[in-house]
Copies of this chain bind each other. A is one copy, B any other.
């Protein structure tokens, strides 16, 4: 068990720039960095913001301790003046941004970080790592949650993700509508409900399937779920009901052509009198497979690989760009990279979702080269402001971190998902469900 700092979860060039900026005096220039996505992951119709609460929580651990400073000194990454700066580093700037669980669209200014160049530039990697991973998972998860409708949906993909990303993925899925996870650390750290009963190893450990079922029922009660596909599914179902009785809580199927198998198992369970025994399916599901099972007698879904890997799009592709800075005279300048293939909009932004009778109609982004907070006079009376203060002068708002933050994000997502137009719920590749509209000041 080792203490940990998050400060070196950072690309070297951020510290190299800091080093040079401390020499030439630009380190103290006030800057606005913006975290946004140029497009939605996987040509989806909407994106889901996730990770904000984790980032805010890890800010406190973004400190350079002895081990980190020693490494930077030994490797000559930065000079002595920069080491001294890093030793005292603590983010004292401010962040405003979208609530976690909020929907986003191309260009949405998801997170705005304001501070000196020195204190804001070194947060680039950790901010992007967290938001890109968690939002990719949450975006995929929301589509699966929509496809599952009222049927319970559990995340069980930890084994197909890096061991720490797995915990983050379970959290992101819960925010985006999943009901539970198999990952115990996600339960302990983030309050996500956990579930799970037995693997094929359980059946194989015993001399017979019947021994395994009997032992499981004795340990966990007849309300448990028995995995019936280790050998022959029909035989497994028969044994399960013989051992547990018709009050058996559920059976799980992890292989086969699921629509066919689910129908057969339901028929067999009903014929045996186990009409209340539920069927959970868990074999390589994604949003399309879940949708295809809508008419099948399936009671619950477990999703693994596809959701933790963003269902084909494992990163949201967000970027962290300098959009405004003070000049030498102290005035504000909007800035943006000019290369033709990566147009970025300079200037600080404010963002609003316009609504018509409760349904989203556009992502309205107000751009100003200057720095004043924009309280745009909107022509849409229904518009909802999307930015909230997350960190003020280095103080993180506790409403957005820890398990409280997760619960709030999950509730917020459920609420704002109701604003999506019906066309946004289709699973096929498409343009974003609503247009992004820029209003230049």
**Which residue numbers of A lie inside 8 Å of B, CB to CB?**
1-6, 8-17, 19-21, 23-24, 26, 29, 31, 33, 58, 61, 63, 65, 67-68, 71-72, 75, 77, 117, 121, 124-126, 128-130, 132-134, 156, 158-168, 182-185, 187-188, 194-202, 204-207, 215-216, 218-220, 229-233, 255-256, 305, 308-310, 314-315, 317, 320-322, 325, 327-328, 335-342
Q: Is B182 in contact with A13, judged by CB distance below 8 angstroms?
A: yes
Q: Are B132 and A159 in contact (CB under 8 A)?
A: yes
Closest to A326 in B: B205
Q: How far is the CA of A33 from the CA of B197 in the complex (A)?
A: 19
Residues on the B chain within 8 Å of A233, using CB: 339
- Sample of 15 A–B contacts (CB below 8 Å): A4-B4, A9-B183, A16-B219, A17-B201, A17-B205, A20-B215, A21-B205, A24-B219, A125-B158, A125-B159, A129-B159, A162-B168, A200-B321, A200-B337, A229-B337
Most buried by B among A15, A160, A184: A184
A sample of 7 more A-B contacts (CB under 8 A), given A29-B205, A130-B162, is A13-B196, A16-B198, A16-B219, A17-B198, A125-B166, A129-B161, A231-B339
Closest to A120 in B: B201
* A339–B20 CB distance below 8 A: no
- CA–CA, A24 and B214, complex, Å: 10
* Cα A322 to Cα B5 with chains together (Å): 38
B9, B16, B159, B188: which contacts A185 (Cβ < 8 A)? B9
CB neighbours of A308 from chain B (8 A):
315
Establish whether residues B197 and A26, one from each chain, have CB atoms under 8 Å apart when the complex forms: no
Q: Could you say which residues of chain B place their CB within 8 Å of the CB of A17? A: 198-199, 201-202, 205
Nearest 3 interchain pairs by C-beta: A13-B196, A162-B165, A20-B219
- With A and B bound together, what is the CA distance between A241 and B396 in angstroms? 45
Residues from chain B with Cβ under 8 Å of A15 in the complex: 184
Q: Of B163, B184, B201, which one neighbours A130 at CB under 8 angstroms?
A: B163
Q: How far is the CB of A70 from chain B (nearest CB, A)?
A: 9
A198→B11 CA distance, assembly (Å): 10
- Say which residue of B12, B65, B206, B321 sits within 8 Å of A195 (CB atoms): B12
The interface residues of chain B lying within 8 Å CB-to-CB of A133 are 161-163, 165
Which of the residues B159, B187, B220, B305 comes within 8 Å of A71, measured between beta carbons?
Answer: B187
With A and B bound together, what is the CA distance between A214 and B29 in angstroms? Answer: 18
A205 to B326, CA, bound (A): 8
Alpha-carbon distance A6/B184, docked complex (angstroms): 11
Select which of B13, B121, B163, B205 is within 8 A of A129 by beta carbon.
Answer: B163
Rounded to whole angstroms, the CA-CA distance of A109 and B160 in the bound complex is: 18
CB contacts (< 8 Å) of A200 on chain B: these are: 321-322, 337
Contact between A197 and B317, CB atoms less than 8 A apart? no
CB distance from A65 to the nearest CB of B (A): 7
A77 B184 Cβ-Cβ under 8 A = yes
CB distance from A121 to the nearest CB of B (A): 6
Asked if B5 contacts A1 (CB within 8 A), the reply is yes
B126 touches A184 (CB 8 A): no
Taking a contact as CB atoms closer than 8 A, the residue among B16, B68, B129, B160 that contacts A128 in the complex is B160
Which B residues are CB-close (under 8 A) to A335?
Answer: 204
Q: Provide the bound-state CA to CA distance between A132 and B314, in Å.
A: 14
Best-surrounded residue of A58, A185, A336 (most CB of chain B within 10 A): A185
